[in-house]
Chain A
């Protein structure tokens, strides 16, 4: 009978974190923390390697950073098992963020009268 757009009735809303679950989660958290520290070491290591091309350097550094950020968001911020409402919100935010970044950069590149550098 309900017309639902974004809501999905959950029959039994409850937190999925019983103390036993948490015990297991704690190990995951520590593991993720370790991975993040390793990731940092990797980023800095890549910095001292001195890739030949600037593009490679930037790509490698940003890829590692994205993986690290993904781990933080997924596990520390519980995004791996979050409610649908939050996902919807973040998808929109991500879209607008990309719009802002890509369109500004595109606009800055697309100036026909810009003197050649």
Chain B
């Protein structure tokens, strides 16, 4: 059959042509279709909705913590009593006047640890990799589904189980894990001496499930990209998003197993009294625990960061991929420097495995090994800068369409830039020793991930929403969402750089008040000034307003399902990549006819063509 997919409105014809490669399927029932589906699109949607709920939940934990930081020791208004009823009075206490609703230190620590865990492992990675990867990658490479559809479903269910275990841990005696998302030993093992099945044990069990889910997903993604690319879709014709997901898959595949091993060992430390991470001479509250000792706390840090540094790139690479797609589409130009970008993303993937110990300068590592990790850390910033620069230059001379996805994608560039550049002082041991564990680190990391990755994910949601639902999200409310989010994100994280440089530690329950000038006593140098402490209140207000700013998005997301403007073609953004060559929404099996690719991914505004875009499957 002649390929007629050049212009999207021809697709309606293609869909009805008999004798295409697939026999019609009997319509599956509700459960097979929506719940226990093996279709990559439905699994992608499941991943997406679950991850968005978890992200909202993780964000909510932080909003509560921000009250404690801004108004230490005061009862949380409205929610304090509800929280006490939910979690018990050992977690939520009373202030001096006897009013119920004060977040106690243990709960603060739990919320802090779970905010990190939920945002990273249950929110962003499942959304960026599980949801966008699942939905978009098979479409962009012209595949009927993932290579192993049942494995794909198993991956989602394992993720959900891990998430449920994490959520349940809030309600067990002693509360959820409270040793930070990094769960450093021996603190993580000894933090809750009263309970054997404590929050940390639940955290580890949940992590084992989440790691299993990631491994299944990674195997599936990489196999799909290697094996199921459409005819003619050579490696250098892959959309950049697919490259980003490909590298992300490898990071998950090879970096997660060491954490799984470490998790098993810490689980044994918790449940079987082994001493993998408990050193000889360990004392807990002045008593010697009944363990053999001889373990190495640094071993945990090595294995944890062997995962967790590549994990940072797992968080950012899919975001870069999304932004690249949207920028090419809305500048109506080919990406500038596609090949350097591909080689950069491969270099990032490669180098990210040998930079991990820059998180450990403060452990007193020797100068030789520190130098090694400083060199690799400085080196890995080069490919990141190349990608960012290529994306900036891609804007040059384009007639840019400023729609909501593009606004988020454009905001990603400077936000990620700030996040990345402020990371350099943390990569060098001399400066890191001052900045480590201050709010500076929080600001740096969140600039990469919150206004960075999360903006990219919002961009992706607005961009692919029409393909998934057949309707646009409301453009005006999208702009409101963008402008407010952009302002408040910066109001939250910019002051944290100042707080961090002033020396405010990131782990203080009272937001540093006890180290303020009022409490420091005579002649203490370097106490936190009123200005720095007052920023806590400003940041908290900005955070709560950021929460309010998400309401337009949530309403828009659901109302547009029914009321959004209908798409008029299968390719509403006039894009070039293959996902727009499918019917809308794509049916089971995706493509009406097996696609064949004849050209590169970003042939926008090619001379000699009637339209300003040429789809990949348009014959030469």
Contact = CB atoms under 8 A, between A and B. Distances in A.
Do chains A and B directly touch (beta carbons under 8 Å) in the complex?
A: yes
Interface of A: 2-7, 85, 92-93, 96, 99-100, 103-104, 106-108, 110-113
Query: Interface range on chain B: under 10, 10 to 19, 20 to 34, or 35 or more?
Result: 20 to 34
Contacts of A3: 234-237
Contact of B366 (A7, A96, A99, A110): A110
A17 B124 CA distance: 46
24 contacts: A3-B236, A4-B234, A5-B236, A6-B235, A7-B234, A7-B235, A92-B250, A92-B350, A93-B254, A96-B353, A99-B353, A100-B258, A106-B369, A107-B298, A107-B357, A107-B360, A107-B365, A107-B369, A108-B296, A108-B298, A111-B364, A111-B365, A112-B366, A112-B367
A110 B235 contact: no
A110 B296 contact: no
B235 A107 contact: no
B25 interface: no
B412 interface: no
B234 A2 contact: yes
B306 interface: yes
A15 B369 CA distance: 47
B340 to A, nearest CB: 14
B354 interface: yes
A88 B170 CA distance: 44
A2 B237 CA distance: 9
Contacts of A107: 298, 302, 357, 360, 365-366, 369
B380 to A, nearest CB: 14
A5 B338 CA distance: 14
Nearest to A1: B234
Contacts of B306: 100
Interface of B: 226, 234-237, 250, 254, 258, 296, 298-299, 302, 306, 350, 353-354, 357, 360, 364-369, 372
A113 B366 CA distance: 8
Nearest to B370: A110
B488 to A, nearest CB: 40
A2 B229 CA distance: 14
Contacts of A110: 365-369
Contacts of A7: 234-235
Contacts of A92: 250, 254, 350
Given A107-B298, A107-B369, 15 more contacts: A3-B236, A4-B235, A7-B235, A92-B250, A92-B254, A100-B258, A103-B369, A107-B302, A107-B357, A108-B298, A110-B365, A110-B367, A111-B364, A112-B364, A112-B366
A113 B235 contact: no
A92 B365 CA distance: 27
A73 B235 CA distance: 29
Task: Sort A-B residue pairs by CB-CB distance and give the 9 closest, nearest first.
Answer: A110-B366, A3-B236, A5-B235, A110-B369, A104-B302, A2-B234, A107-B369, A96-B353, A112-B366
A85 to B, nearest CB: 7
A5 B368 CA distance: 36
A3 B234 CA distance: 7
A112 B364 CA distance: 8
Contacts of A99: 353-354
Nearest to A110: B366
A111 B366 contact: yes
A29 B404 CA distance: 62
Contacts of B367: 110, 112
A48 B534 CA distance: 72
Nearest to A113: B364
A108 B299 CA distance: 9
A96 B360 CA distance: 19
Nearest to A9: B234
Nearest to A3: B236
B234 A103 contact: no
Contacts of B357: 103, 107
Nearest to A112: B366
Contacts of B353: 96, 99-100
A83 to B, nearest CB: 11
B203 to A, nearest CB: 23
Looking at A7, A99, A104, A106, the one whose CB has the most chain B CB atoms below 10 A away is A104
Contacts of B250: 92
